[in-house]
Amino acid sequence: MTTNNTCKKCGCQDSFMVSPAPCPTPVDCPTPQPCSEVLDAQCVIYTGDPIMCNNDIVIPTNTTMSEAIQLLVSYFCPAP
């Protein structure tokens, strides 16, 4: 059995490369990463106008994406 070292050099095994990727995803990668950059949802902040539904603010300005997802779920699927 041979090992394809090209995959590891392009970042498809255990770590992602920063943008832009230094080389295309090798053909032999078993689970290629389609994105050249991956960010934690707690590190991305929504800075636009508040997102509203009728008169309710669903996503306020300066909300992290992880909080925004939780707020969306809570808004549309309230606890019983």
Domain positions in the chain are 1-38, 45-76
For residue 11, is pLDDT > 50? no
H-run or E-run covering 9: helix 5-10
Beta bridge partners of 59: 51
pLDDT tens-place string over residues 35-64:
777 888 999 999 999 999 999 999 999 999
State residue 23's pLDDT score: 56
Instruction: Answer whether 64's CB lies under 8 Å from 42's CB.
Output: yes
Beta bridge partners of 51: 59
Q: Token match 């969306």: residue? A: 72
Instruction: Answer whether 52's CB lies under 8 Å from 40's CB.
Output: no
